[in-house]
Structure 1
Amino acid sequence: MKKIAILVAPILVLLSFITYSSNSVLDFNTSLNDSTEIAPKSFYGNEAKLIAQILDTYHYKKIKLNDSLSSVILTDYIETLDNNKSYFLKSDIEKFEKYRTKVDDYLEAGNVNFAYEIYNVFKERFDNRMTFVLDSLVGMDFDYTVDEYYNTDRSKGAWPTTEKELDELWRKMVKSQALSLKLNGKDNEGIKETIKKRYERFSKAAQQHRSEDVFEVFMNAVAEAFDPHTNYFSPRTSDRFKQNMSLSLEGIGARLQTETDFTKVVQILPGGPAEKSDLLHENDRITGVAQGEDGEMVDVIGWRIDDVVQLIKGPKGTTVRLEILPAETGVNGPTQVITLVRDKIKLEDMQAKAEIIPLKKNGKEYKIGVITLPSFYMDFEAYQQGDPNYTSTTRDVKRLVKELESKGIDGLMMDLRNNGGGSLAEAIDLTGLFIKNGPVVQVRTSTNKVEVGEDEDPEIIYNGPMAVMINRFSASASEIFAAAIQDYHRGVVIGEPTFGKGTVQSVIDLGRYLQVPEGEEVGQLKLTLQKFYRVTGSSTQHLGVSPDVNLPSAFDADEFGESASKSALPWDQINSTTFNVSQEVSPQLVLRLNDQYSRRLETSPELKALVEDTKELKLNLAKTQISLNEEKRRKEIEEAEKREAKRVSLSGTSIKKESEGNTDDVNIEDQYLKEGVIILTQMISEIG
């Protein structure tokens, strides 16, 4: 394989000449006189200045930190603090306008005081809201016969103009939470006590925010103005990032993020308790966390993500209970309580796994080998130490394919759904197992230099019928592999369009270039330096990989993909590189497979149910308006429970379908995988 370097060395050399002293004095007056306000640490100005210089000089995008970008940063910072427009007043936002074109100037001068001034206004508004809830709303007897609604997503609405508007917004918010508790069986006193404890904890957690937290939020607004994958990590976040990279984090195996008032599951990590239990899924919302089998359920609605994560994390072998709103039933559906046993997520849990799925078609038995690939991994430390048994994606898949072939498989399915990427080198090497040789991916640097990652090994370990399964959460290295298999016409790609991440990042330790007081630490900057391109010259950015056969999808690109971010780098194209297309998959074959799939859409009860489930999920994901009328909410919950019971009943049944003399008989609960296996079997039949 031709290696592709991540070009960090030039940055390290140049930055070695840039040193900062923590003793420099800023020429800006600060208004942070209140002892309860949070102020920046003495070296934060210098750290911000260093970050701004790195972004300005080395980011792939090659844009300058100017007045225009300053405006973007200010907007993003305000929205991060108050993403649902529930705290700031319109008058606050108008006062912040004086900073709109000044952020770049402040950063260049090493001044972050204004960011803390904005935060302290937010803190004052937050404290006022907590006082209002605890003094005025906790003891209120709500009327649940009134026909009114609460919108959980106010991000696109207007800022409240008066305290009275905010009071009404929070009345509806707390009423919605109280009604949810009532529908879950709590009496009036229990509801009041739960709401009271919720906001007391919420307020207490917010009082623990420190200067480091504010700096991280602001510097992320700066970094992410360049692109969504450029991020600032505080020292505490850096430690967590290193834990994740070492795959030794103890917990439930889920990646979370804040969405409006909720903590949303955005990724289930392969090999973790969440995946193994199949109780928690992407887009589920977590509303409560409890320790052990009988610990008190702590409401986490409105909590910041770090505090929720701290509750969920814990030692291996301990139990955590989560109260969730499943994605399938949405914010209007019933909550569920699930129990998970924490575990350590190890490298071996992330490794490729293989199984054989038997399928009967037209009286003929087929064996389909399925390799599930959670990520593109490699044990770099063992490799560098010369360990001949080091673990890698390519080595594992090569072994698994040989094992499957020894059992007489008729076709091979590579399942890359939910594979968020990993090692670029492994993506290239893995592709090389299925093509003779040639380019796999092109990478362009910020200086417009294009390098080609090639498979230089002519060996092919498997030359039979092949398919690749992808979904909206297949990203980065997954997209490189799927794109190469598709561009070489080596296999059929089945599923949903992928995420569309076509950029490469590297992490820079800022502590190497900044002197800080003893006992203090600085963070890290994850910086976008390069961009991926297919062998055809098309970028995977935004577009991702479009499958040859599209299965139903509930996830739109502008909500669940690279295109969801306003600052994402654009799609573009470079020259194609020379490569030899194989003959395994012709355009005519793809047309016939799509025609057969279209006919199945009309005749297969299971496939029809999958389409309906997908539509339902899409609608539920889009719903943000909640009725505050008890009778309406009960009806909505009953309908959601009926739909879910019907879905579970159907998915757990193996259906034999008779159509045009064909019989497909395969018992797989994973409906998407089942459809993929059927399509691959049809491909095998087509090519003889």
Structure 2
Amino acid sequence: MTVKKTLLALLLSAPFALMARADSGTALPNAPTADQATAAKLVYGLLSDSRYAYRPKALDDALAADMYKRYLEALDPGKQFFTAQDIAKFDAYKTKLDDGFKRGDMSAAYAIFAVYRQRVEARVAHARALLKQDIFDFAGNDSFVYDREDAPWATDKAALDELWKQSVRNDWLRLKLAGKKPEDIRKTLDKRYENLAKGIAELKGEDVFQTFVNSYANAVDPHTDYFTPRSADNFNLSMSLSLEGIGAVLQRQDDVVAIREIVPGGPAGNSKKLKPGDRVVGVGQGDSGPMEDVIGWRIDDVVAKIRGKKGTKVRLDVIPAEAGLDSQPVRVVLVRDKVRLEDQAAKAEVITIPAAGKTPAKRIGVIKLPGFYQDFEGRRRNNGDYASATRDVAKLLTQLRGEKVDGVVLDLRNNGGGSLTEAIELSGLFIDRGPVVQVRESGGRVSVESDSDAGIAWEGPLAVLINRGSASASEIFAGAMQDYGRGLVIGETTFGKGTVQNLVDLDRWPANETARFGQVKLTIAQFFRVNGSSTQHKGVEPDIAFPASVDASEFGESTYDNALPWTRIAAVPHTRYGNFEPLLPKLRALHDKRVADNKEYQWWAEDVARFKAERAKKAVSLNEAERRAERDGNEAKRKQRQEERKALGLALDPLADESADDGLAASERDIAKDAAREKLADSRPDPLLRESAAILADAVRLLNGDDKLSAVVLPTANVRGHWAD
């Protein structure tokens, strides 16, 4: 799944991808390198040719204007830096970007970026100057408008000054409400703004190049992206859930790279010499390679030094979390190994649903699958231990069968997709051969992708839990289970991404031995359910619906202005194991009755409604009394809920005592404490998951208690043994 990307958003949320060495001292180039120019021409050839792209578009003046708009959005999405006067000057480039791109000439993009960097520097200087002024009285009725996506560009510098004044005041107020003293607030914000300017000033040409090429790629299709060689490596690692290195998650904090998390079973964890919060200040290769001071380096440069082939050594100079940055570092020597990122792999648990009337309690197994991952290279090499979502789920199903569960819920919430092959093979765990998805290529040819393996890994009751964040491969799987009548689909309507992407290595044409040109994640086809319907725009609609946690106008395929429209093709013959329509009214009635008395579910619904109402305002008050009353009310509500949990015997919320807003950016928090808090968030009560298990338990009870209903709902299953209790 692709989400809207901006250069500034990437900088703020993931500085490891953008921060250059502080001591580099190199000026930003005003044109791409020779390799980048070649890469641009290769990208143009791909995206304009129907042999490759599913929906090729001519690179003409109209598309150039769209590229121009997207490039400005990537640089300045909140319209915080450019003025209308700047835009008027840039408009001269609007219809000329196409001609330059075809030649590999991107001087216009670099010229716009040069102005952007100047504007950021000026805005940050203004913000830091505001910290010294007497503007932090919060008794008035003014507000800060934080959502400026649809706002016009500021008319002039004075208008931007006013916008930034309110932004700085809001930053100050958030920290004040969190209990910070004025001197600490001023110090924190001054450092924050300084880091923002430093980050933009130290961007390298490859960052600008990737951003601009993606303004073209995203203009053609919202899910087509260009990756530089380094970002392509990172993307492939995220899909394979494995890497060769030391097994540590790193985070940049000011000028140093710190350890955020230790991956269990990796070299770092096994050594017992490193912990969250420790800072890496030097890296050396092997037994005797020179130690390189990495203070001030961008995090991806540090990661590149630490990663390496399995069996090789790396030496780290580390300053412990509890020591001052000027302390003597400790030398740690590690032998690199292959590390599996288990936190992102499938996991299982069992939920017990209490007895209902004369029917006994039901044990429902839950498998949480965060992505359809696959180690493509490991599979190609026929490595028997390669990472695979399907293989992991199959093992968990065997485990749950051994625990005598009565049904299984596959939790695909916020699963943005991944490997199409994995979606097909995962479906095969629950159906006995047959078509899973139809794929239509750019020329109109339709192929049917099927599960060809005989046998079913789990024949029992099944439910699939989805939400708006379930996309692509998740929609293929959920749609197949629905079309086959194999399981109940519960939750929210999904994202609505019905297209297929493939990674195209741009180095394959010149047959380069080393990566030089990068890769393109290219939309090559559209997929359709076996019933002939596309999930594009419409998504997969649940059989039992929960209240929508996010509006379709804010998140999902429908938010992309150039997304493919919904359509359908002919259905393909497939087995229909069951028809849940006769069962759904009874399940909905039981669900409605249960959630009416379910405090946790009601609290969740209240929080969703409040979040939507607040988001719709697109602004926050700068009146301290009003904000403090709102904060105090929220904290009182959390404490009240915690007391009710105790009284009702419910699981406690491990974050009930945490402030909802500490006013800090991610890089300003204590890394070890923040990582621990993130882990606690994973164990918070999940009323939607429990209710999904209860719905599946209801279905099992109803079908086992009513032979006539069961014969209507599961005629095939009754013969083949599916949904047997």
Are the equivalent residues in 1 in contact too, given 2:241–2:345 (CA < 8 A)? no
Using a 3 Å threshold, how does the CA distance of structure 1 residues 134 and 377 change in structure 2: closer, same or farther? closer
Alignment of 1:334-483 (within 5 A): 346-360=340-354, 361-363=356-358, 364-387=360-383, 392-483=388-479
Unpaired segments ≥5 residues, structure 1: 1-34, 255-268, 274-289, 296-305, 322-342, 657-666
Distance 1:390 1:291 in 2: 28
Q: Matched residue of 2:366: which SS?
A: strand
Per the alignment, residue 675 of structure 1 pairs with 691
Distance 2:402 2:106 in 1: 64
Counterpart residue identity of residue 366, structure 2: V
1:240, distance to aligned residue in structure 2 (A): 2.5
Deviations along 1:611-659, one digit per CA (max 9) or x if unpaired, are: 2122123334445312222222211211222233344555677569xxx
Using a 3 Å threshold, how does the CA distance of structure 1 residues 167 and 205 change in structure 2: closer, same or farther? same
Using a 3 Å threshold, how does the CA distance of structure 1 residues 47 and 454 change in structure 2: closer, same or farther? closer
Residue 561 of structure 1: which of 537, 556, 564 is its match? 556
Per the alignment, residue 187 of structure 2 pairs with 193
Range moving further from structure 2, 169-178 or 311-320:
311-320
Are the equivalent residues in 1 in contact too, given 2:364–2:405 (CA < 8 A)? yes
Deviations along 1:422-470, one digit per CA (max 9) or x if unpaired, are: 3322222222232233211111111211111112334233333221111
1:90, distance to aligned residue in structure 2 (A): 0.6
Are the equivalent residues in 1 in contact too, given 2:367–2:409 (CA < 8 A)? yes
Range moving further from structure 2, 362-371 or 347-356:
347-356
Counterpart residue identity of residue 49, structure 1: K
Deviations along 1:534-571, one digit per CA (max 9) or x if unpaired, are: 00111122222111001123112232222222232222
Counterpart residue identity of residue 492, structure 2: E
Per the alignment, residue 173 of structure 2 pairs with 179
1:671, distance to aligned residue in structure 2 (A): 0.6
Q: Matched residue of 2:447: which SS?
A: strand
Per the alignment, residue 590 of structure 1 pairs with 584
Per the alignment, residue 119 of structure 2 pairs with 125
Using a 3 Å threshold, how does the CA distance of structure 1 residues 519 and 99 change in structure 2: closer, same or farther? same
Using a 3 Å threshold, how does the CA distance of structure 1 residues 433 and 674 change in structure 2: closer, same or farther? same
1:224, distance to aligned residue in structure 2 (A): 0.6
Are the equivalent residues in 1 in contact too, given 2:528–2:534 (CA < 8 A)? yes
Range moving further from structure 2, 198-207 or 379-388:
379-388
Q: Matched residue of 1:225: which SS?
A: helix
1:674, distance to aligned residue in structure 2 (A): 0.9
Per the alignment, residue 292 of structure 1 pairs with 277
Q: Matched residue of 2:220: which SS?
A: coil
Q: Matched residue of 2:155: which SS?
A: coil
Counterpart residue identity of residue 528, structure 2: Y
Q: Matched residue of 1:355: which SS?
A: strand
Distance 1:205 1:587 in 2: 56
Per the alignment, residue 56 of structure 1 pairs with 48
Per the alignment, residue 506 of structure 2 pairs with 510
Per the alignment, residue 162 of structure 2 pairs with 168
Using a 3 Å threshold, how does the CA distance of structure 1 residues 399 and 88 change in structure 2: closer, same or farther? closer
1:597, distance to aligned residue in structure 2 (A): 1.9
Range moving further from structure 2, 488-497 or 551-560:
551-560
Using a 3 Å threshold, how does the CA distance of structure 1 residues 406 and 236 change in structure 2: closer, same or farther? closer
Per the alignment, residue 151 of structure 2 pairs with 157
Using a 3 Å threshold, how does the CA distance of structure 1 residues 548 and 251 change in structure 2: closer, same or farther? farther
Per the alignment, residue 221 of structure 1 pairs with 215
Per the alignment, residue 575 of structure 2 pairs with 580
Using a 3 Å threshold, how does the CA distance of structure 1 residues 569 and 640 change in structure 2: closer, same or farther? same
1:400, distance to aligned residue in structure 2 (A): 3.2
Using a 3 Å threshold, how does the CA distance of structure 1 residues 569 and 251 change in structure 2: closer, same or farther? farther
Distance 2:590 2:242 in 1: 45
Per the alignment, residue 488 of structure 1 pairs with 484
Alignment of 1:40-79 (within 5 A): 40-43=31-34, 44-57=36-49, 58-79=52-73
Distance 1:354 1:438 in 2: 27
Q: Within the alignment, does 1:39 sit opposite 2:35 as a pair?
A: no
Identity %: 41
Using a 3 Å threshold, how does the CA distance of structure 1 residues 239 and 586 change in structure 2: closer, same or farther? closer
TM-score scaled to structure 1, two decimals?
A: 0.76
Using a 3 Å threshold, how does the CA distance of structure 1 residues 72 and 459 change in structure 2: closer, same or farther? same
Residue 91 of structure 2: which of 75, 82, 97 is its match? 97
Range moving further from structure 2, 539-548 or 430-439:
430-439
Per the alignment, residue 498 of structure 1 pairs with 494
Counterpart residue identity of residue 155, structure 1: E
Deviations along 1:235-289, one digit per CA (max 9) or x if unpaired, are: 33223223323424656599xxxxxxxxxxxxxx9x999xxxxxxxxxxxxxxxx
1:355, distance to aligned residue in structure 2 (A): 2.8
Deviations along 1:213-244, one digit per CA (max 9) or x if unpaired, are: 21111111111111222111123322322332
Distance 2:194 2:109 in 1: 27
1:88, distance to aligned residue in structure 2 (A): 0.9
Per the alignment, residue 12 of structure 2 pairs with none
Q: Matched residue of 1:374: which SS?
A: coil
Q: Within the alignment, does 1:630 sit opposite 2:618 as a pair?
A: no
Per the alignment, residue 301 of structure 1 pairs with none
Residue 686 of structure 1: which of 686, 696, 702 is its match? 702
Are the equivalent residues in 1 in contact too, given 2:471–2:494 (CA < 8 A)? yes
Are the equivalent residues in 1 in contact too, given 2:229–2:515 (CA < 8 A)? no
Using a 3 Å threshold, how does the CA distance of structure 1 residues 444 and 428 change in structure 2: closer, same or farther? same
Counterpart residue identity of residue 90, structure 1: A
1:593, distance to aligned residue in structure 2 (A): 1.1
Counterpart residue identity of residue 638, structure 2: E
Counterpart residue identity of residue 682, structure 1: D
Counterpart residue identity of residue 413, structure 1: V
Residue 543 of structure 1: which of 534, 538, 544 is its match? 538
Counterpart residue identity of residue 561, structure 1: G
Q: Matched residue of 1:532: which SS?
A: strand
Q: Within the alignment, does 1:88 sit opposite 2:82 as a pair?
A: yes
Distance 1:229 1:655 in 2: 46
1:595, distance to aligned residue in structure 2 (A): 2.5
Range moving further from structure 2, 571-580 or 245-254:
245-254
Using a 3 Å threshold, how does the CA distance of structure 1 residues 462 and 634 change in structure 2: closer, same or farther? same
Counterpart residue identity of residue 198, structure 1: R
Counterpart residue identity of residue 41, structure 1: P
1:76, distance to aligned residue in structure 2 (A): 0.7
Distance 1:87 1:169 in 2: 10
Deviations along 1:388-415, one digit per CA (max 9) or x if unpaired, are: 5655433443343344334432222222
Distance 1:320 1:311 in 2: 18
TM-score scaled to structure 2, two decimals?
A: 0.73
Distance 2:339 2:555 in 1: 25
